[in-house]
C-alpha cells in the first residue's frame, strides 16, 4: 500500500513538472516572438503572453500586463488595452486581495483615457471597477458603476453581458437589503443564462437567490435553491462553484446551531477547493472556518490537527483579508482549551475588527462569543451586556421592511413561472380555436348554405335574448350592490351613532360610581370597541375623506394587528384615476379577498400591490398559502364569495382573474380602466 501511494504521488509530481515545463517553453517562445516583431504583430504576442500566464506571479504577471496595456495604448488598440486593464484590476482585487490597488488602476484608466472604446469592452471594465468598490465595502458606489456598465451594455447586442451586469446588481442590492430590486435583477438575468446554456452563471444565480433567502431567515427555501445548484455544479464538475455553495450552506447551519452539518459542509467546501483554479487564494478562509466550526463544537483534537497547517504558514493565513478569520480562529481555540482570559483578548480584537466592517452577522456572532466567554469566567455583568447586544442585533435582522420586501420576493418567482405557463396554455388554446374556426367555415361554405342562414338567424335571436338576460342581470346586480351599500351604511350609522353612543353614556354612568364597577366598565369598553370595529367594517366612514389608497393601507394595518399572517403592501398613488362610485366597490372586493386569505388560505404571508399602467390600474393580492387547482376546483372559484366578486367586477367593468396552484399560493388580479 505504501509503495502504491509513493507511485501515485510520483506520477502527480511528474505531471505537474511536465505541465510547468510546457508552460515555460511556451513563455520563452512568446518572449522570443515579441523581441523579433514590431507594432501590431508585437502587440498580438504580448497580449497572448498576458493571457497565457493567467495571473501567475512566477512569470511577473503584473509587470507583463502593464507593458501590454502601455504598448496597446501607444498603438491605439484601445479594446486590448481595456481588456488587459480589466484583467489587472481583477488580479489586484480578487486574486491577491488588494482592491485599493485595483481601484486606483481602474480610476486612472477611466479618468485619463478619453478615446473611443467599444461599449462592450468599457462595460466589462466598469463591472470590474464595481467589484473593486464592493471589495472595499463601498456597495453604493459599486452599484453606481454597474449602472454605468448597464447603460453601455444596452447600446450593444450582447445579451450575455447585460445578464452578467443584472446578476451583479442583484447581488449588491441584496447585500444592502433591497430584496425586491435584487430579485428583479436576478429574474432578468436567469432566462439569458438558460438560453446561452451558461451553467456557471445559472449556478451563481441560484446561489445568490439562496443567499437572499438566508439573509431573511428563510433557511428551508435557501437550502432547496442551493441543493439544485449543487446538483448542477456536480454534474458539470464546476468545483469553484461548489466551494461557494458549500461555504454558504455552512454559514446557514452555523446560524441555525446545527454543528454537525456546519462541519460537514466546511469539509465538503475544503475538498471542492482542492480542485478549484483559485485553491491557493481561498484555502486560508476555508481552513480557518473549519477550525472555528470544530473548536466551537468541542472537537478540539481534530481542530488542533488542522491548526498545525495554519501555524506552519502564518504569513499566508493571518495577513490581508484573512486576518479577521485568523483572529476568530485564535479566540475559538483559546475558548475550547479553557484559556478564557486569552479568549477575551482575542474576542475583543475580533469584535473591534468586524464592527469596522459593519457586517451584522459577524458582529452578532462576535457579541454572542463575548457573552459566552464572560459567562465562563463568571462575569455576569459583562456577559449580560454582550448578550443584550447580541439579541438586539438578532431581532433587528428581521425588520418589517425586509420581511415586507421578501414577502413580495417569495411570491414573485413562482408567480412569474405560473404566468408563463398560463400564457403558453392560452396561446395553444387560441391557436386550436383558430384552426377549428377555419375548418368549420370551409364546411359551412361547402354546401350548407341554407343551414348557415338558419344558423345565423338563430344566432341573432340567441344573441338578442342573451343581451336581454345580461341587461336584466346587470340591472339586478346594480340594484343589489346599491341596496347592500345603502344597508351597510345605515346599519353602520345605527351601530356608531345610536348603539355606540348609548354604550358610552352607560360607561360614563358606571364610571361615576364606586370602584367595584371596574369589571363592568372593562366589559363595556370591549363592547364599544367591537361595535366601532363592526361599524367600520360595514362602512368606512373616513373613506370619502381619506380616499381609496389610505383606506387600503388602513385595512392592511387593521388585518395585521389581529392576524398571524404577515401582510405587506406596495400601493402607488392612484388618486383621481378611478371614478369615486367605483372606489368603494373595489375596496369591498379587496376586503372580501383578504377575508378569504384569513379563513381559507392557511398562508403565512400576503402582499397587496396597486400599480397604474398606461390605460388602467391593476390591483394584485398574492398569498403563499395552500392554494388549489383552479380547473379541478371550480366549486371554490364559483363559491358564494367568488360569485359576489365576479358580480361586483362586472358592475364596475373590471377584469377579475384568479390564479392558483396547490401548495403555491393564490393570486387575485383586478384590472380597471382609468377614468
User: Does 408 fall in a domain?
Assistant: no
644 shares its domain with 532: no
- Inside any domain, residue 592: yes
Which of 185, 160, 159 shows the shortest CA–CA distance to 170?
185
With beta carbons less than 8 A apart as the criterion, state whether 245 and 207 touch: yes
The candidate with the shortest Cα–Cα distance to 261, out of 221, 219, 232, is: 219
Task: Examine the domain organization and report whether 569 and 650 are in the same domain.
Answer: yes
Number of domains in the chain: 2
Question: Which of 539, 559, 577 represents a domain boundary (last residue)?
Answer: 539
> Interhelix angle for 179-195 vs 400-445, to 10°?
40
Buried b (16+ CB within 10 A) or exposed e, 313-326: eeebbbeeebebbb
Predicted pLDDT of residue 106: 92
Instruction: Give the whole-angstrom CA distance, residue 333 versus residue 298.
Output: 10
User: Are residues 557 and 533 part of one domain?
Assistant: no
Task: Establish if 319 belongs to a structural domain.
Answer: no
In tens, the pLDDT along 33-69 reads 888 899 889 899 998 988 888 777 788 888 998 999 9
Tens digits of residue pLDDT in 193-224: 888 888 888 888 888 888 877 777 778 888 88
Listed residue (534, 344, 409) closest to 352, CA to CA: 344
Q: What DSSP assignment string belongs to 291-360? A: HHHHHHTT-HHHHHHHHHHHHTTHHHHSSGGGHHHHHHHHHHHHHHTT-HHHHHHHHHHHHHHHHHHT-H
Same domain, 493 and 611: no
Please tell me the distance from the alpha carbon of residue 44 to that of residue 71, in angstroms, as a whole number: 11
Q: Is residue 122 part of a domain?
A: no
Structural domain boundaries enclosing 664: 546-673
Model pLDDT, residue 147: 94
What three-state secondary structure class fits 275?
A: coil
Q: Which parts of the chain sit beneath pLDDT 50?
A: 1-18, 398, 400-401, 404-409, 411-424, 426, 428-429, 483, 640
pTM of the model: 0.52
Distance CA 4, CA 40 (A): 52
What is the layout of strands, in order, in the sheet containing 666-673?
A: 566-571, 605-612, 616-623, 666-673, 654-660
Do 487 and 553 reside in the same domain of the chain? no
- Shared domain for 603 and 666, answered yes or no, is yes
Helices (H) and strands (E) in the chain, counts: 28, 5
Count, residues in the chain: 675
Whether 241 is covered by a domain: the verdict is no
Same domain, 525 and 604: no
- Nearest to residue 520, comparing CAs of 531, 530, 508, 532? 508
Which residue among 539, 556, 589 closes a domain? 539
**Is 109 among the domain residues?**
no
Tell me the backbone φ, ψ of residue 385, rounded to 5 degrees: -60, -45
Q: What is the C-alpha separation between 309 and 331, in angstroms, rounded?
A: 17
522/582 same-domain check: no
117, three cell numbers: 472604446
Residue 609: inside a domain, yes or no?
yes
Of 539, 571, 602, the one marking the end of a domain is 539
Amino acid at each position: 500500500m505504501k509503495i502504491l501511494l509513493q507511485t501515485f504521488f510520483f506520477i502527480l509530481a511528474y505531471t505537474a513538472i511536465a505541465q510547468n515545463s510546457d508552460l515555460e517553453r511556451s513563455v520563452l517562445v512568446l518572449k522570443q516572438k515579441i523581441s523579433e516583431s514590431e507594432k501590431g504583430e508585437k502587440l498580438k504576442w504580448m497580449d497572448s503572453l498576458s493571457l497565457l500566464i493567467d495571473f501567475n506571479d512566477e512569470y511577473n504577471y503584473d509587470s507583463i500586463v502593464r507593458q501590454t496595456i502601455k504598448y496597446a495604448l501607444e498603438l491605439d488598440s484601445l479594446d486590448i488595452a481595456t481588456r488587459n486593464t480589466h484583467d489587472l484590476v481583477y488580479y489586484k482585487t480578487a486574486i491577491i486581495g488588494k482592491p485599493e490597488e485595483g481601484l486606483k488602476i481602474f480610476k486612472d484608466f477611466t479618468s485619463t483615457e478619453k478615446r473611443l472604446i467599444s461599449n462592450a469592452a468599457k462595460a466589462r471594465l466598469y463591472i470590474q471597477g464595481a467589484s473593486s468598490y464592493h471589495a472595499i465595502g463601498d456597495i453604493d458606489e459599486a452599484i453606481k458603476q454597474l449602472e454605468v456598465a448597464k447603460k453601455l451594455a444596452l447600446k450593444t447586442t450582447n445579451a450575455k453581458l447585460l445578464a452578467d451586469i443584472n446578476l451583479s446588481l442583484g447581488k449588491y442590492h441584496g447585500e444592502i437589503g433591497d430584496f425586491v430590486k435584487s430579485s428583479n435583477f436576478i429574474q432578468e438575468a436567469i432566462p439569458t443564462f438558460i438560453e446561452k446554456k451558461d451553467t456557471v452563471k445559472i449556478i451563481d444565480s441560484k446561489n445568490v437567490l439562496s443567499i437572499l433567502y438566508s439573509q431573511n431567515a428563510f433557511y428551508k427555501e435557501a437550502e432547496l435553491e442551493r441543493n439544485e445548484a449543487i446538483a448542477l455544479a456536480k454534474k458539470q464538475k464546476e468545483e469553484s462553484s461548489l466551494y461557494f455553495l458549500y461555504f454558504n450552506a455552512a454559514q446557514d447551519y452555523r446560524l441555525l446551531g446545527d454543528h454537525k452539518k456546519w462541519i460537514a459542509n466546511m469539509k465538503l467546501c475544503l475538498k471542492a477547493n482542492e480542485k478549484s483554479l483559485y485553491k491557493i487564494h481561498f484555502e486560508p478562509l476555508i481552513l480557518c472556518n473549519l477550525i472555528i466550526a470544530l473548536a466551537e463544537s468541542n472537537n478540539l483534537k481534530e481542530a488542533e490537527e488542522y491548526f498545525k497547517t495554519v501555524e506552519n504558514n502564518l504569513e499566508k493565513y493571518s495577513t490581508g483579508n484573512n486576518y479577521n478569520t485568523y483572529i476568530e480562529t485564535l479566540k475559538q481555540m483559546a475558548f475550547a482549551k479553557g484559556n478564557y482570559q486569552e479568549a477575551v483578548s482575542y474576542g475583543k480584537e475580533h469584535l473591534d475588527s468586524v464592527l469596522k466592517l459593519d457586517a451584522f452577522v459577524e458582529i452578532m456572532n462576535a457579541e454572542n462569543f463575548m457573552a459566552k466567554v464572560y459567562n465562563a469566567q463568571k462575569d455576569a455583568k459583562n456577559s449580560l451586556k454582550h448578550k443584550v447586544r447580541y439579541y438586539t442585533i438578532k431581532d433587528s435582522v428581521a425588520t418589517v421592511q425586509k420581511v415586507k420586501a421578501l414577502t413580495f420576493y417569495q411570491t414573485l418567482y413562482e408567480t412569474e413561472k405560473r404566468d408563463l405557463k398560463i400564457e403558453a396554455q392560452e396561446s395553444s388554446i387560441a391557436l386550436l380555436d383558430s384552426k377549428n374556426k377555419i375548418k368549420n367555415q370551409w364546411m359551412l361554405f361547402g354546401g350548407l348554405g341554407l343551414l348557415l342562414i338558419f344558423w345565423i338567424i338563430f344566432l341573432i335571436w340567441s344573441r338578442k335574448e342573451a343581451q336581454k338576460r345580461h341587461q336584466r342581470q346587470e340591472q339586478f346586480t346594480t340594484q343589489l350592490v346599491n341596496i347592500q351599500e345603502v344597508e351597510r351604511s345605515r346599519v353602520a350609522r345605527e351601530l356608531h351613532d345610536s348603539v355606540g353612543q348609548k354604550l358610552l353614556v352607560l360607561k360614563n354612568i358606571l364610571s361615576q360610581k364606586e370602584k367595584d364597577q371596574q369589571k363592568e366598565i372593562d366589559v363595556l369598553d370591549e363592547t364599544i370597541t367591537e361595535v366601532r370595529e363592526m361599524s367600520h367594517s360595514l362602512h368606512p366612514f373616513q373613506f370619502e375623506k381619506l380616499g381609496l389608497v389610505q383606506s387600503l393601507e388602513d385595512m392592511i394595518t387593521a388585518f395585521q394587528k389581529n392576524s398571524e399572517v404577515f401582510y405587506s403592501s406596495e400601493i402607488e398613488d392612484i388618486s383621481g384615476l378611478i371614478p369615486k362610485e367605483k372606489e368603494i366597490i373595489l375596496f369591498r372586493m379587496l376586503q372580501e379577498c383578504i377575508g378569504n386569505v384569513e379563513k381559507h388560505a392557511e398562508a403565512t404571508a400576503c402582499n397587496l400591490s396597486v400599480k397604474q399602467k398606461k390605460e388602467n390600474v391593476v390591483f394584485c393580492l398574492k398569498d403563499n398559502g395552500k392554494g388549489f387547482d383552479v380547473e379541478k376546483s371550480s366549486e371554490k372559484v364559483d363559491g358564494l364569495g367568488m360569485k359576489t366578486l365576479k358580480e361586483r367586477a362586472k358592475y364596475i367593468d373590471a377584469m377579475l382573474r384568479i390564479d392558483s396552484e396547490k401548495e403555491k399560493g393564490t393570486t387575485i388580479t383586478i384590472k380597471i380602466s382609468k377614468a
